[in-house]
């Protein structure tokens, strides 16, 4: 099945063509692969969604000089551009508005929801511990947030709605990347991570509209999002009946990273 996806957010217009099959979907490539290109970078990030661009910015801020983001779709947006709000504990927004949202209490709530068994407590703790600072970091990038309720009389308020929603979030992250000289290559899906003799990462091979691109790099971050559009993965991981569910994920989320 061939599907044309047209996205018309207020601040951007992009267009993608995808072919859906049993195993997932692929972005349509119209030309024969003939051209071979080579680039070098200190860091390659696969996937230009929220996680990928945030990682790129954090790396640049910490002294990484040359960063290339490989993005499969026509715009660095991902599912993040469709999202709305971000969890935060002890954030600057909460502090300014007098909302008491202690990390320790919220950690216990999260763990109790998972019966203290089904999730990785260290990961949950790290996520909660970093969440407030992440909101502050995003504010400094030019974003604004307001606290919203998830359900009536929710206490404490932890959902930080991004003004302009995910689309604005991605727009601001892209602009910050541009300002710091981070290269975002769209319509460039990564195909393979290259390794040296000792198993160390040496780069990434990606497809381009004209052929193939090899980026030599010492470090690679995989930020390709979920697998909501990969039916085989859903079948294996979530079990059979769930593949009948419709996903709202970005069509490029196929666990191809």
Ligand X SMILES: Cc1cc2nc3c(=O)[nH]c(=O)nc-3n(C[C@H](O)[C@H](O)[C@H](O)COP(=O)(O)OP(=O)(O)OC[C@H]3O[C@@H](n4cnc5c(N)ncnc54)[C@H](O)[C@@H]3O)c2cc1C
| Residues within the interface to ligand X (CB under 6 A) | 46-52, 70-73, 77-80, 82-86, 189-190, 223-225, 248-250, 252-253, 256-257
Q: Cβ distance 53 to 177 under 8 Å?
A: yes
Nearer to ligand X, 14 or 107 (CB): 14
- Contacts of 240-249 with CB under 8 Å at 24 or more apart are 248/79, 248/82, 249/79, 249/225
Q: CA nearest 147: which of 191, 74, 67, 90?
A: 90
The Cα–Cα gap between 211 and 197 comes to 26
CB of 152 to ligand X, least distance (A): 18
CB of 218 to ligand X, least distance (A): 19
Q: Are strands 219-222 and 190-195 parallel, antiparallel or unpaired?
A: unpaired
Nearer to ligand X, 126 or 197 (CB): 126
Nearer to ligand X, 70 or 90 (CB): 70
Residue nearest to ligand X (CB): 49
Q: What is the DSSP letter of 201?
A: E
Nearer to ligand X, 79 or 94 (CB): 79
Nearer to ligand X, 80 or 90 (CB): 80
Q: Name residues whose C-beta falls within 8 Å of residue 113's C-beta, 6 or more positions apart in sequence.
A: none
CB of 65 to ligand X, least distance (A): 22
The Cα–Cα gap between 58 and 80 comes to 17
CB of 194 to ligand X, least distance (A): 14
Nearer to ligand X, 98 or 244 (CB): 244
CB of 58 to ligand X, least distance (A): 13
195 burial via Cβ count (<10 Å: 0-12, 13-18, 19+)? exposed
CB of 60 to ligand X, least distance (A): 17
Nearer to ligand X, 90 or 250 (CB): 250
The tokens for 11 are 């601040």
Q: Cβ distance 124 to 111 under 8 Å?
A: yes
Give the C-alpha distances (Å, rounded to integers) separating 58 from 65, 70, 173, 177: 12, 17, 11, 10
CB of 190 to ligand X, least distance (A): 4
């Amino acid at each position: 099945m061939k599907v044309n996806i047209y996205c018309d957010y207020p601040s951007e217009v992009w267009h993608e063509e995808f072919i859906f099959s049993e195993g997932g979907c692929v972005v349509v490539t119209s030309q024969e692969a003939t051209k071979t290109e080579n680039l070098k970078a200190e860091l390659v990030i696969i996937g230009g969604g929220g996680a990928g661009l945030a990682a790129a910015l954090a790396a640049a801020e910490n002294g990484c000089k040359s960063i290339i983001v490989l993005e499969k779709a026509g715009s660095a947006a991902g599912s993040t551009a469709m999202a709305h709000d971000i969890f935060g504990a002890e954030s600057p927004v909460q502090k300014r508005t007098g909302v008491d949202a202690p990390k320790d209490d919220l950690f216990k709530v999260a763990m109790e929801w998972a019966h203290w068994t089904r999730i990785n407590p260290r990961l949950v703790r790290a996520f909660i511990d970093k969440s407030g600072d992440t909101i502050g970091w995003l504010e400094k990038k030019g974003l604004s947030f307001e606290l919203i309720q998830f359900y009536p009389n929710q206490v404490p308020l932890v959902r930080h709605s991004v003004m302009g929603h995910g689309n604005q979030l991605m727009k601001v992250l892209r602009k910050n990347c541009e300002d710091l000289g981070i290269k975002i290559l769209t319509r460039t899906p990564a195909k393979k991570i290259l390794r040296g003799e000792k198993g160390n990462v040496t780069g990434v091979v990606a497809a381009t509209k004209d052929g193939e691109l090899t980026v030599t790099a010492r470090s690679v971050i995989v930020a390709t999002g979920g697998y909501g559009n990969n039916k085989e993965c859903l079948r294996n991981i979530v079990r059979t009946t769930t593949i009948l569910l419709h996903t709202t994920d970005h069509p490029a989320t196929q666990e191809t990273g």
